[in-house]
Structure 1
Amino acid sequence: MHTPPSPPGAERTDGSSVRIGALVPLTRPGWVEAGRHLLAGLELAVREVNDAGGIGGRPLGLVVRDTAADPQRAAAAVDELARLGVAAVAGEYHSVVARAAAARADALGLPFLCSSAVLDALTEQPSRWVARLAPAQSHGWRIYADFLLGAGHGRIAVATQPSVYWASGARILREYLAPRGGTVVEIDVRGLDPAAVCDELVYHRATALLLLVGHPEPAVPIVEAVRRDRRLAGILIGAPAGQPEFPAWATLLGGDGAAIPFLRYLPERLGPLGARVGAALRERLGQAPSFVAFEGYDTVVVLADVLRTQAGEDGARAGGPWPHVAVEGTRGQIRFTRTPGIGVWQWAWAPTQVVDRDPAEPDRFRILRAG
């Protein structure tokens, strides 16, 4: 049975509920498909918490706000949710949006558990109120760089657009690859059509192209152009940010979208909890759940533990609520630590894979590297 997502701004709660604010990109220019998967995971976990008795006998409710990939809109939503009296804020997929939400939540002393954004500098200063489930970008993208080196790729071109997130990714790759004999050339795609991007790849003699650009534009036209350019027949196309994870990628590109490695945050095999949740998410979404849906589910699992066991005086401890979390998530045991270079409480680390879509069967994923 396919259950459609609740409308943006819907408040599935009543006056007696313990409420969590949920920040989710549900309209363009946000990545709507990712937002739908994130919300499905959040809602499924809330339903299961309530089926098990809620929080101290009180139902758990979600107050959903659509960020539409807008940092200012997200910060305003955190202010609104705080006025509504939510116990915590959760969610978000886009790193620059999560960063704005984290700054506002930290200033208000409101717990914020970031589900899916990976930018290392989620906060400018160490925060006791902000925690994150997704691995930091530097962790995942170094695993991706190791994959590139292991596959024999030392001349890497990155197609980029202006963004703190994309710039951070390019810097991580450059700093990691340079001491290991790799080179990274940036191609700013502003003002370049896909054919001109192909010309740049030939000029720089790149053996791999990484798409640090938006989806579907301009990522999809670039992939189509590269696939059809005979000069680039041997080039690897990669998308470390995970664009090929979602079904729309395969729908838009068909076979051209296969064999494009990307990062996802799942174990090689799900345990009993993950398998059960995966089946329920598939039914809810009407398609295979992405890692983002599992991140949404695990977010509520963590917050339910916090709300059950760490209310009152515990919440005022020097470290905030996060150091005391120890729960079983869909992808392993979740605990939070202080990680060097990361200003928020971090689950270090969620299982990380480099995968691609199998050219022989594009709906099937192949694990190329795990870390």
Structure 2
Amino acid sequence: MSTPPPPPEPEPTDGSSVRIGALVPLTRPGWVEAGRHLLAGLELAVHDVNDAGGIAGRPLELVVRDTAADPQKAEAAIEELDRLGVVALAGEYHSVVARAAAARADALGLPFLCSSAVLDALTEQPTEWVARLCPPQSHGWRIYADFLLGAGHSRIAVAAQPSVYWASGTRILRDHLAPRGGTVIELDMGALAPAAVCDALVDNGATALLLLVGHPEPSVPVVKAVRRDQRLAEIMIGAPAGQPEFAEWAAVLGDDGAAVPFLRYLPERLSPLGARVEAALGERLAEAPSFVAFEGYDTVAVLADVLRSHGADRARAAGSWPRVAVAGTRGQIRFSRRPGTGVWQWARTPVQVVDRDPAEPDRFRILHTG
């Protein structure tokens, strides 16, 4: 799948910046709040790298492009960033966009470290140009399925919108739950209004409803409808993709947004570096940083280490993925080849199932770890 890169050129000696292209969803229909957190992490790490002397004395520069959750927009941005001479790509939150970005980066011979997109098959064929920090969807969502079974849920409804990502999540849940006695009931959110979702939950005897949908629409109306339906007082609402992680969820839903378990990629305790970064990110964001912000910081930390060790040559940078050993905010980062992903993968990303505490919605409870 890889296109041979051009011959390496001499590195500048005039103090010019080393440029990294950043792909971030900053406008709708992209998940803007996730994009804001991702960008905050990327920018803070660039600031820290430059405070520590940059890359062999040259400043690190982040060239940001908005993807707006649009694969074609991302591809056009990568073409532009390639012309601007970036040495690597970082970022992206949406899996369908990251897939398009990975394919274009591979074709151009441009190293791409994906921060936050979990779809297993990030590329159609294996590539040496792409690495990823977040865990594959199959890993995290199986942990979530184990949590559901442990909590006593075997009849699980998924309210899903049409998407490769949501369809993949549904398949992972079904394949993991079925041999263990679990049943997955699919509810098509392209056809059902929130009231009809409530009726379907009652008719099917579901004990859990998973939101495989966008935020705030249609997730917020569905949550409000279920919370207000007395027939569903005992049902658990879950959101494995992480919608409740962000402050907007709590602001819009209030108490209705508590006790909605989701996946979060943080350890139980941050390292000293992680604690320092957490405080700095909190100042930048004026709110508690999400795991996505830490993913952004770790992305630049890894790329900076690669560039310091191997210079600003794209081929040498991509060839160094298997030798990465970086102390990130959430643990030691090393890459390996994981079957089914096609890219270099951080194999030990911490995974938690958490929710917002009903007694204190700004506080998160760890329900399960994997």
Q: TM-score over 0.5 for the alignment?
A: yes
Distance of 2:324 and 2:65 partners within structure 1: 26
Residues 273 and 328, structure 2, Cα contact 8 Å, conserved in 1: yes
Residues 98 and 114, structure 1, Cα contact 8 Å, conserved in 2: yes
Residues 354 and 369, structure 1, Cα contact 8 Å, conserved in 2: yes
Closer, same or farther: CA 230–313 of 1 in aligned 2, 3 Å: closer
Find the counterpart in structure 1 of residue 364 from structure 2. 365
**1:133 correspondence with 2:133:** yes
Deviations 1:147-173 (A, max 9, x none): 000000000000001000000000000
Residue 281 of structure 1 aligns with an amino acid whose one-letter code is L
| RMSD of equivalent CA atoms | 1.3
Find the counterpart in structure 2 of residue 285 from structure 1. 285
Residue 109 of structure 1 aligns with an amino acid whose one-letter code is G
Distance of 2:211 and 2:314 partners within structure 1: 44
Deviations 1:303-333 (A, max 9, x none): 001111023789449x722111100000000
Deviation at 1:191, TM superposition (A): 2.6
Residue 288 of structure 2 aligns with an amino acid whose one-letter code is A
Residues 121 and 343, structure 1, Cα contact 8 Å, conserved in 2: yes
Distance of 2:162 and 2:340 partners within structure 1: 24
SS of equivalent residue, structure 1 residue 222: helix
Deviations 1:29-84 (A, max 9, x none): 00000000000000000000000000000000000000000000001111110111
Percent sequence identity over matched residues?
A: 81
Find the counterpart in structure 1 of residue 319 from structure 2. 320
Residue 238 of structure 1 aligns with an amino acid whose one-letter code is G
Closer, same or farther: CA 314–118 of 1 in aligned 2, 3 Å: closer
Closer, same or farther: CA 58–313 of 1 in aligned 2, 3 Å: closer
What does 1:157-236 align with in structure 2 at a 5 Å threshold?
157-236=157-236
Q: TM-score, normalised by structure 2?
A: 0.95
Residues 21 and 90, structure 2, Cα contact 8 Å, conserved in 1: yes
What does 1:1-371 align with in structure 2 at a 5 Å threshold?
16-311=16-311, 315-316=315-316, 320-371=319-370
Distance of 1:65 and 1:304 partners within structure 2: 19
Distance of 2:219 and 2:236 partners within structure 1: 14
Residues 158 and 186, structure 2, Cα contact 8 Å, conserved in 1: yes
SS of equivalent residue, structure 1 residue 284: helix
Residue 209 of structure 1 aligns with an amino acid whose one-letter code is L
Deviation at 1:357, TM superposition (A): 0.1
Residues 78 and 104, structure 1, Cα contact 8 Å, conserved in 2: yes
Answer with 191-200 or 305-314: which moved more: 305-314
Find the counterpart in structure 1 of residue 4 from structure 2. none
Gaps in structure 2 of 5+ consecutive residues: 1-13
Residues 96 and 165, structure 2, Cα contact 8 Å, conserved in 1: yes
Residues 87 and 312, structure 2, Cα contact 8 Å, conserved in 1: no
Closer, same or farther: CA 40–316 of 1 in aligned 2, 3 Å: closer
SS of equivalent residue, structure 1 residue 367: strand
Deviations 1:190-247 (A, max 9, x none): 1321000100111111000000001000000000000010111110000000000000
Closer, same or farther: CA 312–220 of 1 in aligned 2, 3 Å: closer
Q: Which runs of 4+ in 1 moved over 4 A?
A: none
SS of equivalent residue, structure 1 residue 126: coil
Residue 357 of structure 1 aligns with an amino acid whose one-letter code is R
Residues 129 and 321, structure 1, Cα contact 8 Å, conserved in 2: no
Q: TM-score, normalised by structure 1?
A: 0.94
SS of equivalent residue, structure 1 residue 273: helix
Residue 200 of structure 1 aligns with an amino acid whose one-letter code is A
Residue 338 of structure 1 aligns with an amino acid whose one-letter code is R
SS of equivalent residue, structure 2 residue 319: coil
Deviation at 1:15, TM superposition (A): 7.9
SS of equivalent residue, structure 1 residue 203: helix
Residues 118 and 134, structure 1, Cα contact 8 Å, conserved in 2: yes
Residues 131 and 344, structure 1, Cα contact 8 Å, conserved in 2: yes
Distance of 1:160 and 1:15 partners within structure 2: 51
Distance of 2:122 and 2:333 partners within structure 1: 19
Residues 263 and 354, structure 2, Cα contact 8 Å, conserved in 1: yes
Find the counterpart in structure 2 of residue 8 from structure 1. none
Deviation at 1:132, TM superposition (A): 0.2
Closer, same or farther: CA 337–170 of 1 in aligned 2, 3 Å: same
